[in-house]
């Protein structure tokens, strides 16, 4: 198979050409309901996408760069037809001009052969419309170019035909029709009041999700999407972008907590603009604070590269492409929700389908911020007995708190149970419950937080029938570290609660 790649296609578009040339269509749109194919022609390629932005020329100054383009958003239907009938571009173009007149459309652009010139069509060869048509040749010497507009109560419909004739006399026709279309919203749901640990039934998708995956309880999938990758980790480090890269460095927030990364794929009939606006509206309506959002080239090429290359985020974004070319159909949102218990951060990355054989790819990453003690020794009554007998004190590994708060997490239950067993076996002993922090933040805040955490441990033990008069809360903040606070790992080890024999 031989085919011509237009000389000005980008790397992204060349890949799209190859995909269209070597794969069959998932769904073929034979003809538009307003305009039939040219008699005797055959369909080469087609594509339909909803609520997508496209540039349409409304005025051409022949043989100059003075092409006036307007941005139009709507349903776009592209067709590429081949006509092997030894007809000229002029003759075929006159037929389509007659079609425009029958539709009651105003002809905005009509140029033939060299009068069109190369520059007026420069915008087109790399566009979504051509990538999903691929019938017209990039040939400035034998081209007919028509654009027409029909004004209706619902908005303007644009019709565009590019007609070329190759060396062998085969006519290529790229037809693009852009129809006004309202943005379809409410395709993403956010539940900011649900407890994070609560499971949520999955939305029915067009294809089965991968085994063991599910939507996050805070945010649903876009309607019709299906899960292709899923990871959940109880505690990890994650970076959340908060802006575009400056000098190739992306500003980020570094977080620790429970991480969930879900990769979705979605039918290519939905534009990234529509997907993006649905997620943005859902998050805003649920009182999320949008930290950063970007679209297309404004995101910059370094944003994804920084995410992939960071130690915290390696391998998290496999559904989407790592390299964001200047013409990539990419959009991004990062947001934060402050809940009564803790903070939740998330971002949504959307990588758009290029051709009718491709799919949209979406990654939703959620981080439920918390702190955890990273001691490697498991807690049981015997361990507590040995440590107190030898040292008069013991670090209570496994007591986990919400980030920067004194609220104990459910994952602390095992350690609390071991403490109850030990205290029940030694009813005559009394203890200081001593809270410690790292040195991040002010001394006063850390001291108050450490004492509040000690009080939370005593309260939890009292609820488990331990006599709280045997326990006395003390908060020493950062003044007694186990190890230097010169790394995140060391800081995590210094954030602890100890039981000290009185």
52-61, 186-195, 408-417: the lowest-pLDDT one: 186-195
**DSSP character at residue 494:** H
Contact between 74 and 178 under an 8 Å Cβ cutoff? The reply is yes
pLDDT mean over 80-87:
87
Give the residue from 248, 210, 257, 194 showing the smallest Cα distance to 405: 257
Please report the pLDDT score of residue 477 as a whole number. 93
Same-domain pairing of 59 and 125: yes
Give the residue from 398, 438, 389 showing the smallest Cα distance to 416: 398
Taking each helix axis from N to C end, the angle separating 413-425 and 443-463, rounded to the nearest 10 degrees, works out to 70
Residues 404, 422: Cα–Cα separation, whole Å? 29
Pairing state of beta strands 68-83 and 171-179? antiparallel
Q: pLDDT at residue 60 above 80? A: no
Q: Does 296 map to a domain? A: yes
Residue with tokens 């031989």: 2
The total of structural domains in the chain comes to 3
How many helical (H) and strand (E) elements, i.e. helices and strands, does the chain have? 9, 17
pLDDT mean over 431-437:
95
Q: Does 185 map to a domain? A: no
Kindly give the residue spans of alpha helices, DSSP state H, lying in 319-399: 381-391
Please name the residues in contact with 387: beta carbons below 8 A apart, sequence gap of 6 or more: 393, 394, 395
Same-domain pairing of 361 and 419: no
Last residue of a domain, one of 370, 392, 412: 370
The per-residue DSSP string of 143-164 comes to: EEEEEEEEEETTEEEEEEEEEE
Burial 149-186 (b: 16+ CB within 10 A, else e): bbeeeeebbbbbbbbbbeeeebbbbbbbbbbbbeeeee
Give the residue from 255, 196, 477, 235 showing the smallest Cα distance to 373: 235
Range ranked top by mean pLDDT from 184-198, 207-221, 392-406, 430-444: 430-444
Compute and round to an integer the Cα radius of gyration of the chain.
31
Half-sphere exposure of 431 (CA within 13 A, CB side): 30
Q: Does 21 map to a domain? A: yes
Between the alpha carbon of residue 316 and those of residues 158, 214, 244, 260, 364, the distances in Å are: 41, 16, 19, 10, 10
Residue with tokens 């029940």: 424
Same-domain pairing of 348 and 391: no
Give the residue from 168, 122, 176, 112 showing the smallest Cα distance to 142: 112
The pair of structure tokens assigned to 340 is 């009564």
The pair of structure tokens assigned to 449 is 């937080």
Residue with tokens 């992204």: 12
Secondary structure (3-state) at 59: strand
- pTM here? 0.57
- What is the rounded average pLDDT for all residues in the chain? 79
Please name the residues in contact with 62: beta carbons below 8 A apart, sequence gap of 6 or more: 111, 115, 116, 117, 120
The whole domain housing 430 covers 381-501
The per-residue DSSP string of 200-217 comes to: -PPPPBSSPPPTT----S
Q: Does 5 map to a domain? A: no
Same-domain pairing of 95 and 166: yes
pLDDT mean over 435-448:
91
Burial 282-314 (b: 16+ CB within 10 A, else e): bbeebebeebbbbbbeebbebbbbbbbebebbe
Question: Which pLDDT band, with edges at 50, 70 and 90, does 181 fall under?
Answer: confident
Kindly give the residue spans of alpha helices, DSSP state H, lying in 339-442: 381-391, 413-425
For 243-262, what is each residue's pLDDT tens digit? 887 777 778 888 888 888 89
If one counts every other C-beta atom within 10 angstroms of the C-beta of residue 484, the result is 10
**DSSP character at residue 17:** H
Which domain CATH number covers 444?
3.30.1330.60
Same-domain pairing of 386 and 358: no
CA 195 centroid distance within chain: 23
Same-domain pairing of 259 and 328: yes
Same-domain pairing of 23 and 148: yes
pLDDT mean over 477-490:
85
Last residue of a domain, one of 344, 370, 396: 370
**DSSP character at residue 270:** B
Give the residue from 91, 114, 112, 99 showing the smallest Cα distance to 31: 99
Q: pLDDT at residue 494 above 80? A: yes
Q: Does 190 map to a domain? A: no
Q: Is 143 left (phi over 0), alpha (psi -120 to 50) or beta?
A: beta
Q: Does 137 map to a domain? A: yes
Element (H, E) at 226: strand 226-241
Same-domain pairing of 365 and 407: no
Q: Does 205 map to a domain? A: no
Q: pLDDT at residue 151 above 70? A: yes
Contact between 266 and 224 under an 8 Å Cβ cutoff? The reply is yes
Taking each helix axis from N to C end, the angle separating 413-425 and 381-391, rounded to the nearest 10 degrees, works out to 60
Residues 409, 401: Cα–Cα separation, whole Å? 5
Q: Does 37 map to a domain? A: yes
Give the residue from 150, 69, 66 showing the smallest Cα distance to 105: 150
Last residue of a domain, one of 342, 370, 398: 370
The per-residue DSSP string of 93-121 comes to: HHHHHHHHHHTTPEEEEEEEGGGT-SGGG
Same-domain pairing of 335 and 399: no
The pair of structure tokens assigned to 335 is 């947001």
Which domain CATH number covers 141?
3.40.1000
The pair of structure tokens assigned to 2 is 């031989």
Give the residue from 312, 311, 309, 308 showing the smallest Cα distance to 321: 308
Please report the pLDDT score of residue 401 as a whole number. 85
Same-domain pairing of 334 and 453: no
Contact between 90 and 146 under an 8 Å Cβ cutoff? The reply is no
Same-domain pairing of 361 and 433: no
Please report the pLDDT score of residue 428 as a whole number. 92
238 phi and psi, to 5 degrees? -140, 145
pLDDT mean over 78-83:
91
Residues 291, 272: Cα–Cα separation, whole Å? 20
pLDDT mean over 294-319:
67
Residues 194, 337: Cα–Cα separation, whole Å? 12
Same-domain pairing of 421 and 360: no
pLDDT mean over 98-126:
77
């Amino acid at each position: 198979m031989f085919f011509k790649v237009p000389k000005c296609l980008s790397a992204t578009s060349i890949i799209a050409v190859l995909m269209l040339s070597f794969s069959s269509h998932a769904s073929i749109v034979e003809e538009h309901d307003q305009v039939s194919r040219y008699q005797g022609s055959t369909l080469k390629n087609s594509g339909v996408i909803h609520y997508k932005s496209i540039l349409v020329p409304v005025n051409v100054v022949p043989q100059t760069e003075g092409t006036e383009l307007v941005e139009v958003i709507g349903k776009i239907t592209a067709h590429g037809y081949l006509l092997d009938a030894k007809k000229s571009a002029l003759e075929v173009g006159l037929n389509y001009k007659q079609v425009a007149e029958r539709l009651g459309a105003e002809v905005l652009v009509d140029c033939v052969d060299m009068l069109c010139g190369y520059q007026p069509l420069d915008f087109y060869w790399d566009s979504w419309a051509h990538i999903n048509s691929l019938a017209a040749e990039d040939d400035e010497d034998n081209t007919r170019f028509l654009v027409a507009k029909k004004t209706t109560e619902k908005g303007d419909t644009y019709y565009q035909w590019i007609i070329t004739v190759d060396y062998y006399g085969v006519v290529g026709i790229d037809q693009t029709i852009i129809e006004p279309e309202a943005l379809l919203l409410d395709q993403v749901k956010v539940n900011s009041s649900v407890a994070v640990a609560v499971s949520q039934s999955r939305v029915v998708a067009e294809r089965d999700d991968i085994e063991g995956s599910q939507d996050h309880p805070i945010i649903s999938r876009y309607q019709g999407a299906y899960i292709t990758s899923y990871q959940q980790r109880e505690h990890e480090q994650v970076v959340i972008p908060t802006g575009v890269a400056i000098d190739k460095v992306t500003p980020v927030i570094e977080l620790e907590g429970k991480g969930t990364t879900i990769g979705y794929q979605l039918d290519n009939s939905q534009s990234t603009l529509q997907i993006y606006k649905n997620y943005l509206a859902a998050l805003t309506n649920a009182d999320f604070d949008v930290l950063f959002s970007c679209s297309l080239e404004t995101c910059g090429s370094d944003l994804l590269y920084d995410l992939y290359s960071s130690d915290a985020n390696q391998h998290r974004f496999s559904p989407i492409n790592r390299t964001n070319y200047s013409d990539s159909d990419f959009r991004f949102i990062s947001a934060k929700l402050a809940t009564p218990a803790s903070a939740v951060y998330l971002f949504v990355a959307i990588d758009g389908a290029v051709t009718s054989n491709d799919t949209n790819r979406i990654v939703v990453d959620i981080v439920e911020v918390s702190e955890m003690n990273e001691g490697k020794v498991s807690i049981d009554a015997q361990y507590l007995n040995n440590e107190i007998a030898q040292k008069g004190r013991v670090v209570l590994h496994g007591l986990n708190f919400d980030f920067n708060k004194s609220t104990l997490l459910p994952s602390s239950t095992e350690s609390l149970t071991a403490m109850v067993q030990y205290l029940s076996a030694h009813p005559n002993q009394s203890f200081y419950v001593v809270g410690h922090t790292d040195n991040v933040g002010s001394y006063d805040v850390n001291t108050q937080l450490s004492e509040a955490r000690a009080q939370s441990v005593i309260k939890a033990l009292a609820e488990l029938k331990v006599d709280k008069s045997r326990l006395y809360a003390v908060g020493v903040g950062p003044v007694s570290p186990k190890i230097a606070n010169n790394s995140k790992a060391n800081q995590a080890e210094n954030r602890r609660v100890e039981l000290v024999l009185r």
